[in-house]
A and B are shown apart, each in its own frame.
Chain A
Amino acid sequence: AQSVTQLGSHVSVSEGALVLLRCNYSSSVPPYLFWYVQYPNQGLQLLLKYTTGATLVKGINGFEAEFKKSETSFHLTKPSAHMSDAAEYFCAVTPYSNSGYALNFGKGTSLLVTP
């Protein structure tokens, strides 16, 4: 089975500081990896995804993530945090090229941005 582990349920950064949210995956087959953001009482919005090809993936709102197979990681970063980035972030995995499978989510990381 494919799964992800998000290290740190809460991360606090100052406005303008680097954002780093950690995600490690476990998969017996090449995975598709995703980062989603959830604002309070809302659904999930896709930030970025990795399927194949370039391992550094750029997403919306200035976020990016790098797929590192050797480290089984897919950490999410943003060079400079904005107050509006405060939200819950979920890493997710799905088996490679299997359109019938749903996503398996990590437990989420709550990002707090302080002035």
Chain B
Amino acid sequence: GAVVSQHPSWVICKSGTSVKIECRSLDFQATTMFWYRQFPKQSLMLMATSNEGSKATYEQGVEKDKFLINHASLTLSTLTVTSAHPEDSSFYICSARSGGLSTLSGANVLTFGAGSRLTVL
């Protein structure tokens, strides 16, 4: 089935530094990937939609200069948290659309990465 790989799984950084998280679709091409943020014990909040070859679409309230998204190829999207601060500490999850590749095949099936936990000291 469809697999989405996220790296790194865990990252700790100092305040003020930048951190890059990669999201790869391993066995399918993803023209669209989505980045979510999840706070402890809460739901997933959509941050942005990443479109291959074009600018990302950010949700209201998400700082595009803070969370840089690049989708340079059909299998890779990256999220860079710039000048990270402790309030950016969170669980970041990416997902990609993989129609017809999972056992529950069909349109609008999103495959999720395992997530990246960011801790900013």
Using a CB–CB cutoff of 8 Å, the interface residues on chain A facing chain B are 32, 34, 36, 41-46, 48-49, 51, 59-60, 90, 94, 97-108, 110
Which residues of chain B come closer than 8 Å to A101, judged between CB atoms? Answer: 108
Using a CB–CB cutoff of 8 Å, the interface residues on chain B facing chain A are 4, 6, 32, 34, 41-44, 46, 49, 91, 93, 95, 97, 99, 102-104, 106-115, 117
Q: A42-B115, A100-B49 are in contact. Are A105 and B44 (CB under 8 A)?
A: yes
- On whether the beta carbons of B104 and A44 are closer than 8 Å, the reply is no
Which residues of chain B come closer than 8 Å to A48, judged between CB atoms? Answer: 104
Which residues of chain B come closer than 8 Å to A106, judged between CB atoms? Answer: 43
Which residues of chain B come closer than 8 Å to A104, judged between CB atoms? Answer: 46
- On whether the beta carbons of A107 and B46 are closer than 8 Å, the reply is no
- On whether the beta carbons of B114 and A46 are closer than 8 Å, the reply is no
Which residues of chain B come closer than 8 Å to A32, judged between CB atoms? Answer: 107-108
Which residues of chain A come closer than 8 Å to B103, judged between CB atoms? Answer: 60
Which residues of chain A come closer than 8 Å to B49, judged between CB atoms? Answer: 100, 102
Task: List the 6 closest A-B pairs by CB distance, nearest first.
Answer: A43-B112, A44-B112, A43-B114, A102-B34, A107-B43, A105-B43
Q: A41-B117, A44-B112, A45-B112 are in contact. Are A99 and B44 (CB under 8 A)?
A: no
Residue of A nearest to B116 (CB): A43
B91 smallest CB distance to A (angstroms): 8
Residue of A nearest to B113 (CB): A43
- On whether the beta carbons of A108 and B115 are closer than 8 Å, the reply is no
